[in-house]
Amino acid sequence: MAKLTSYLLLVAAAVGMANAVSVEVEKRATGGYVQNPSGSASFTMYSGCGSPACGKSASGFTAAINQLAFGSAPGSGAGDACGRCFALTGTKDPFSPNFTGPFHTIVVKVTDLCPIAGNQEWCGQSRSNANNQHGEAFHFDICEDTGGANAFFPSGHGALTGTFTEVSCSQWSGSDGGALWNGACLSGESAGNWPSVGCGNQAMILDTKNIVDKAINVLQVAAHTARGDADTTDEMKTMLTLLDTLLESDSLVTTLRSGGLLYENSTPNTLGDPDDLPNYDQVYGRASGAGPSSLLTSSSSESDVTSNGSTAILSPPNSPTTFRYNTDIGDAGSSRGTPSPPRTPPQPQVVHAALNTKESRKWYVIIVGTEPGVVQGSQAAQARVTGVSGNKWQGYKSREDAEHAYQRALAAGEVKIVRP
C-alpha cells in the first residue's frame, strides 16, 4: 500500500506541475518555439507529401520542418513556419565525414511538419534539449515527390548538414494547391522574415513529456496492483480522478498528442464518474514500440488477451496482428487470471488509436473496434483495416475512412471480433 501511495503522490505532483504551466498563447512567431531566419540545420528526405500539416500541398520543392520550429503540434493546425521559403545548402554528410561534395543549394517552401514523436534523431528538438542528435537546432525533411530531394542530395547521400536562410518566396518555383481542410494556411509566403507573423503559432510547447511518461507508468502499475488488492480501490479511484484532471488541460492534451500519446473518440474528454470504477469511454495510449512507456502493448495470443486486463492492445508492424480494446480494467480486487466482466459503457463507442510515423508527416487513424473484444483476421485483412502495408503505417486520412474500412472488412467476414 505504501508503494502505491508513493505512486499516487507522483501523479499528484505531475498534475500540479502541469496545471502550473498550462497557459493560453497568442498567435505570434515565438510562444516557446525556436524560429530563426537563418542558421545551421540537418536535412533528410521523405515521401508521401500529399496531405501536409499546413493544409495545402504545392507543386514546387517543399519540405517539412522540425516541430520546435514549425509552430504547432501534430493535429493542431498550421504553424507560423507554413508557407515560408528557405534557401538550403548542404555542406557535410554526418555519416561520411570525408565526403567533399558536390553539394547543392535549393529553395523550398515549408508545407509540412516533422513531429517530435517517432523522429527523435532528426526532429527531437525541444525546449529542454534544443538540438537534435546531430547537434542541429533545425531540421528540414525535403519532399521527394516534388523533386526537391533529388535536386538537393548527392547520389548515395540521403542525410546532410548545412545552412538555411529564409528568403522571399519570389525565389521559389512552384504553385500552391487548394485547401485540404479548414484552417489551412501558407501565409508565411507573404509575411516578412521571422519574427514577422504569417500563419501564427497554434500551441505552446510545454516541458511536460517526462511528467506525462511518469504519470503513465504510475497508472500502469496502479492498474495491475489494483486487480489483486481490494484495499487499493479508493486509491485507484483517486488516481483516475487525477488522470482526468491532467487531461482536462488543453495544453497538456496537445503535448500528449505531440508525444504520441493519443486518443480519438466521439464523446467528450472524460473518464466518467470516478466513483464508478472506472468506465473507460476512451482508450489512452500509443502503439507499442513507438516510444516511451505505454498503455498499449502487443499481445501474441488470444489467451493473453482474455486474461490481461490492460486497457488496449495494438500491435506494431512485424508483430502479431491482434488488436483490442477493453472498456474496463476490471473491478479492483479481481485477479489477473479471472478478470471481472467488463462493464457496459453508456453507449457503444467507436475508438480509434492514432499513430504518427517518420514515413509520412500526418496522423493516421487506426480503427480498433466498436465493442470490447479482440479483432482477428488475416494479415491482409488487418492491413486493410489498420492501413498497415508491409513495414509502413500508411493509414487513413480521416476517422471516417478508417471506420469505413473496418466496417467493410467486418461485413465481408475478413475480420471478426472475439469476446473476452
Is a pLDDT exceeding 70 seen at residue 157?
A: yes
CA distance 63 to 152: 12
Residue with cell 498528442: 257
pTM of the model: 0.49
- Write down how long the chain is: 420
Rounded to a whole number of angstroms, the CA Rg of the chain reads: 23
Q: Is the pLDDT of residue 101 over 70?
A: yes
Q: Is the pLDDT of residue 416 over 80?
A: no
Helix (H, G, I), strand (E, B) or coil at 50: coil
Pairing mode of beta strands 62-66, 105-114: parallel
First to last CA, the chain: 30
Q: According to DSSP H, which parts of 167-275 are helical?
A: 209-228, 233-247, 250-258
Instruction: Render 86-142 in DSSP notation, one character per residue.
Output: EEEEEEE-TT-TT------EEEEEEEEEE-STT-HHHH---SS--S-TTS-S-EEEE
**Mean pLDDT estimate for the chain:** 61
CA distance 220 to 223: 5
State yes or no: pLDDT of 144 exceeds 70.
Answer: yes
Quote the cell numbers at residue 37.
531566419
Q: What is the pLDDT of residues 219-275, one digit of tens each?
A: 455 545 544 444 444 544 454 444 444 444 444 444 333 333 333 322 222 222 223
Confidence of residue 349 (pLDDT cuts 50, 70, 90): very low
pLDDT at 74: 79
Per-residue pLDDT at 99 exceeds 90: yes
The yes-or-no verdict on residue 141 having pLDDT over 90 is yes
Residue 372 sits at the vertex; the CA angle it makes with 411 and 282, to the nearest 5 degrees, is 110
**Regarding predicted confidence, which is higher, 213 or 175?**
175
Cβ of 240: how many Cβ atoms within 10 Å?
A: 25
The reported pLDDT for the residue numbered 123 is 93
Residue 353 has pLDDT above 80, yes or no: no
pLDDT tens digit sequence for 360-379: 333 333 333 333 344 455 65
